[in-house]
Structure 1
Amino acid sequence: MSRPHGRPAGTAPPPSAAVSRRRVLAGSAAAGAGVLLPAPAARAAAGRDGRTVAVLGGGMAGLAAAHELAERGFAVTVFERKALGGKSRSIPVRGTGADGRRDLPGEHGFRFFPGFYRNVPDTMRRIPFPGNANGVHDNLLPLTAARIARNGGRSDITVPEPAAPGGLDPEVLRETVTGLVEQAAAVPPAELALFVNRFVVYLTSSDERRFGEWEHVPWWEYVRAEGASADYRTIVARFLTRGLVAVKERIASTRTVGAMGEAFVLSGLGLGADGGLARMLNAPTNEAWIDPWVRYLRGRGVRFAVGQSVEALETGGGRIRSVRLVDAAGRRRSAAADWFVCAVPVDRARALLSPAVLDLAPGLASLRELRTEWMNGLQFFLRRTPGGIGQEVNFMDSPWQITAVLQSRIWDRDFPRDYGDGEVADCLSLDISDWDTPGMLYGKPAKKCTRAQIAEECWAQMKDHLEDTGRSVLPDGMLHSWVLDPAIAWHPPSGGNVNDEPLMVNTVGSWEHRPESRTAIPNLFMAGDYVRTNIDLATMEGANESGRAAVNALLDAADSPAARVPVWRLHRPPELDGLKEIDARRFRAGRPNLFDTR
């Protein structure tokens, strides 16, 4: 099979072939002049020059696009239906704060910043934060203590926190060594060798093979999970897909899963990484990142219209003329602009594909082929901090593929002083990645459970892993309260839940259905984690990269002299270039990878 549509991942879009006389005359002194203008002057100049931009959506992609446009002198208005920050925002639990404390901090799901993120950290460095030399970026802390929890009496594997109170716990060390020995013995040597071989095959595969073959092979098939041991299927097939990226292993694109595995390994080796293997924010996302970002953008002249849903793209003269907006009260209005960046999630972007839009850009119809899944958060607020959990826990065998972080180990906050009613000492924040597998208490998938049943199931699944050797880690009396992501709502007619904020997932063959940032409509640009990006995964990094790509496409279309936005790519070890060139020739000849033993 040939690779669909254009360039491979990891390569930048080709620069515009035509360079205008105006841009040549402007020269390097004028490049980026909009960045140098004070915000009010930039907005006034933009208005005079017909450089108004409507950014549709205030999530990661929309804010990233607004940031780059504002720094280049464009007049930007962001229209957001719900709340700025999108899936990455904090969601305070209203009415829970008392005596001057803030409301308890809920969230769509905890924020995790792998070391191979480069675009998001660059943006963070340019967002001022009081007392921080590197802006919001200095609010990132390394994740240093993690636990892989198994159930059924098996020992867990713990990476202990170097500066943990009391130093290294001998019991933790004993359990970790035991767990490592158990895991090494659980997976047959032949299967370990098989997985190493499959990983080497992917590392040495050319882009031609990754797009032409691995894009169309499910991860389950690629790692040959059928008939393998239960532990091999759990760790290699299920956890690396459902636990990390919320996609099912039998339909997940090998190209995407393999690329993420490669990125984690390389960043762990310090190659192409902005920081360590993983980092997290030292406070709730809004406090540490989103609120300072919005303040900075307002200072640059960006306007925000929150509570305004984009209902339609209105066309005229072969372009987008305006957008029709509707607020919570049902009032409608139109907003015109010179340029439009569509940064709404894929499920909402599909709703904007009217016949008039598709007449101008028929290629956007393929958005309807993209698939979404659920990955949402649940927070347990605790009366005291549980022992032996560390910063992060992966509940490897949980039916719902739960991952959790203990916020007291990460946030620079005093819970009883800062949040709630004074009785909450900690927060165990969960991501639920599998909403389709039956749980252990009610025998129903999370999609079919009530909100209370979801909380009970998650609590039970954690205890099943942490208390399977007889010790008490999460006694029921420790629980103060809980909150589920409000995007999950019970829908009586269907006998289940609906999700207002699903996640785009990379299924086999999905690359060919994903749009580039520049569309066939000359003043419409796409941004979002479903747009083709180098990171190629529904993440904050992918959303940020897509916002940058949309701005660069807009600058080209506007024939702007402003400096183009830098876009970082995933690290590609040059040491493997020779093997990849050999593989490219073998692929074109219809032969397997040099290391493929099939």
Structure 2
Amino acid sequence: MSAAHELAERGFAVAVYERQPEYVGGKARSTRVPGSATPERPALPGEHGFRFFPGFYRHVTDTMKRIPYPGNRQGVYDNLVMTTRMLLGRGGKKPIVGLVNFPKSAADLRVLLDELLTSDTGLTDADKELFGARVWQLMSSSYERRQQTYERVAWWQYMSTDRQCGTRQPCPYEEYCVGGLTHSLVAAQPKLMSTKTGGDILVQLLLLMANPSAHTDRVLNGPTNDVWLFPWLRHLQTLGVEYHHNHLTTAIHCDPQTQRISGATVRDHTTGTTRRVQADYYLAAVPLERMALLVSPEMLAVDATLGCIHELANPKRHSLNWMNGVQYYLNQDVPLTNGHVICIDSKWALTVISQAQFWPKFPLGGYGEGNVKGLLSVDVSDWFTPGLNGKAAHHCTRDEIIHEVWNQLEAALNGGGMLLDRNMIIRANVDADIRPEDGALNNPTVSEHDAEPLLVNTANSWSLRPEASTGIANFFLAADYVRTNTDLATMEGANEAARRAVNGILAASGSAAAPCPIWPLHEPDILAVLRWEDRRRFAQGLPWTNELSWLGRLLHAANHLYHRIVGFK
């Protein structure tokens, strides 16, 4: 959708072949809960997983500002609302309420002080010192060191976890600083994820929290389809984009004589027929596991680097993981907190948000039988670790998943007094991509039982990831595995990849249209001197150091003086 938007605005005729029969937006879509519609009301809104828009997103939010929405000056972008709190649920202990933004009120300060002074996390001074030192090293390291060194190191190894705990049970440092947050937020195995990826995203979030003018965490003010994706589809169609729903691409044809893509075969699941479509330029916006099936020997003969897609999708690399949603529709509203809840020690790495408080224009009583008052949307990020029931999620039936996720929510959130009760549940929904109806999920091969797994940036995987422009002159890639500044499987990364692919098409076609803007991740200016110093050391083959040279100290002092003068003016 991002690529179609940018191309259509620049005068290209675009046709999109979409696998979904009616939905758009891939993993970002919301859905209709099967069997919940009534003659009076539409079906309850379900989700592949809840939406989360960190403040460092720039590409996807720039696009959102160009999608019209009635009454909104900045289009669907104005449907984003800021959260103010984060809650850490801990088994057997009182949950911790924390800020996600710089304090902006007396109430914020009280929450911050309570969090700092009374939270019984079990973290030692040595834990805090180690975490701070590792984050500081990331912030003051040059881009070159991150790309060429930290990319090859797993997050777990970088954070020096193995020397922290000698027991089989996770210690507080692992739960709070290394594994829990990482696993819950990006479904990444901390022992496999690249330090460059994990470190870059963590630094972005920490910088947002320290910025008085930033919004760290934003969510949509209604079901994703209603307040973003369907308005976007309508806008694309007004721009002339042709949408062909319920079509699956089954082959991409490469002409060995011209060394160009000559067509693609698509199957229309509505009619059961197949046909070959032709265009000047072809853009594959499909996930990794699907693209691996489409790269043919003829394509490899022209661009051998596309073979890296096969290697990246190899199950032995663990590049694909599951992160899928479960929703609970309740007979009362349970706000939990004004933001996301991380069940820090939950077996299945649960995160949850109470949606009703953010959807004032979409009251849940307007759906289904009209008796729903609350909605807890849960993301399950670990499907392969045994739960409280002794079974991994991928071994469970749909009913077992619903039962076990709720048990883990109760265990994580009811430590400070009864909050959740099973009698609240009216109905529950498991993401349709999880398909236990095919039999018990007893095979850990990800792509067989989750129709849409999530890419995980494992250590040293950057070298296998392709650019948006390929060695085939009229073939381009736009997906979360493409190399981007975002470097994470997110809506932001997909949008940036689409912009890079569109810029490649503009160059290949000789178009005079302005290229799509692409932004780097934010790097604090005040640390520019330290990054410059480390770049110099890295070029000389020297390790990172916290000690500045005399020149570095001089430049650091000059930089500090400059900012004080500018601030005074």
- Please classify the TM superposition score into its range, dividing by the shorter chain length: 0.7 to 0.9
Q: Distance in 2 between matches of 1:321 and 1:304?
A: 21
TM-score norm. by structure 2 comes to: 0.88
In the alignment, is residue 224 of structure 1 matched against residue 123 of structure 2? no
- Structure 2 unaligned blocks of 5 or more: 166-170, 313-318, 549-569
C-alpha distance in 1, partners of 2:115/2:387? 25
Within the candidate set 462, 479, 489, 1:528 is matched to: 479
CA contact (8 A) 2:94 2:413 kept: no
Contact 2:336–2:354 (CA under 8 A) maintained in structure 1: no
Paired with 1:231 and 1:137, the residues of 2 have a C-alpha distance of: 38
Where does residue 274 of structure 2 map in the other structure?
332
Q: CA deviation at 1:361?
A: 1.3
Q: How many positions carry a matched residue from both structures? A: 524
- Check whether the contact 1:358–1:365 (CA below 8 A) recurs between aligned residues: yes
1:468 positional shift = 2.0
Report the equivalent of 2:245.
306
CA distance in 2 between counterparts of 1:160 and 1:585 reads 35
The CA RMSD over aligned residues, in Å, is: 2.3
Is the contact made by 1:387 and 1:473 (CA closer than 8 Å) also made in structure 2? no
Give the distance between the partners of 2:284 and 2:371, measured in 1 at CA. 44
Asked if 1:319 corresponds to 2:260, the answer is yes
In structure 2, what residue type is equivalent to 1:76?
V
The separation in 1 between residues aligned to 2:364 and 2:38, in whole angstroms, is 10
- Secondary structure of the residue aligned to 2:27 is helix
**How many Å separate the matches in 2 of 1:499 and 1:464?**
26
2:2 to 64, 76, 87: 64
Q: CA deviation at 1:180?
A: 4.2
Q: Distance between the aligned counterparts of 2:479 and 2:364, measured in 1?
A: 38
CA positional deviation for 1:145: 2.9
How many angstroms does 1:160 deviate by?
10
Deviation at 1:560, TM superposition (A): 0.5
Structure 1 382/132 Cα, relative in aligned 2: closer, same or farther at 3 Å?
same
Partners of 1:596 and 1:513 lie apart in 2 by: 35
Q: Is the 8 A contact 2:88 2:95 kept in 1?
A: no
Q: Which residue of 2 aligns with 1:118?
A: 58
Partner of 2:524: 573
2:409 aligned partner: 462
Q: Which moved more, 1:131-140 or 1:225-234?
A: 225-234
**Contact between 2:222 and 2:361, CA under 8 Å: does it hold in 1?**
yes
Q: Which residue of 2 aligns with 1:51?
A: none
**CA separation in 1, counterparts of 2:46 and 2:467?**
34
Task: Report the 3-state secondary structure (helix = DSSP H, G, I; strand = E; otherwise coil) of the residue aligned with 2:541.
Answer: coil
Task: Provide Cα deviations, 1:363-407, integer angstroms capped at 9, x if missing partner.
Answer: 011112321111111100001112644432111111111111101
Of 292, 299, 320, the match for 1:372:
320
Equivalent residue in structure 2 for 1:345, among 250, 265, 287: 287
Q: CA separation in 2, counterparts of 1:403 and 1:478?
A: 19
**Structure 1: unaligned runs, 5 residues or longer:** 1-62
* Offset, 1:179: 5.7
CA change 1:591–1:108 in 2 (3 A) is: same
Give the deviation of 1:186 after TM superposition. Answer: 1.0
Which residue is equivalent to 1:100?
Answer: 40
What is the letter of the counterpart of residue 533 of structure 2? I
Instruction: Give TM-score, length-normalised by structure 1.
Output: 0.84
1:216-365 equivalences in 2 (<5 Å): 216-229=152-165, 230-270=171-211, 275-316=214-255, 317-328=258-269, 330-365=272-307
- 1:589 maps to 540
Distance in 2 (alpha carbons) for counterparts of 1:178 and 1:128: 42
Counterpart position of 2:49: 109
Q: Distance in 1 between matches of 2:143 and 2:335?
A: 46
Of residues 364-373 and 389-398 in structure 1, the stretch that sits farther from structure 2 once superposed is: 389-398
What amino acid is the match of 2:352?
A
Deviation at 1:154, TM superposition (A): 4.0
Task: Find the counterpart in structure 2 of residue 504 from structure 1.
Answer: 455
> Is the CA contact (8 Å cut-off) linking 1:198 and 1:596 kept in structure 2?
no
What is the one-letter code of the residue matched to 1:75?
A: A
User: SS in structure 2 opposite 1:567?
Assistant: coil
CA contact (8 A) 2:101 2:211 kept: no
AA in 2 matched with 1:240:
L
| 1:179-222 C-alpha deviation (Å, 9 max, x unpaired) | 64454661110121111111111111112211111001111110
Asked if the contact 2:328–2:376 (Cα under 8 Å) also holds between the matched residues in 1, the reply is: yes
Q: Which runs of 4+ in 1 moved over 6 A?
A: none
Amino acid paired to 2:217:
A
Percent identity over the alignment is: 40
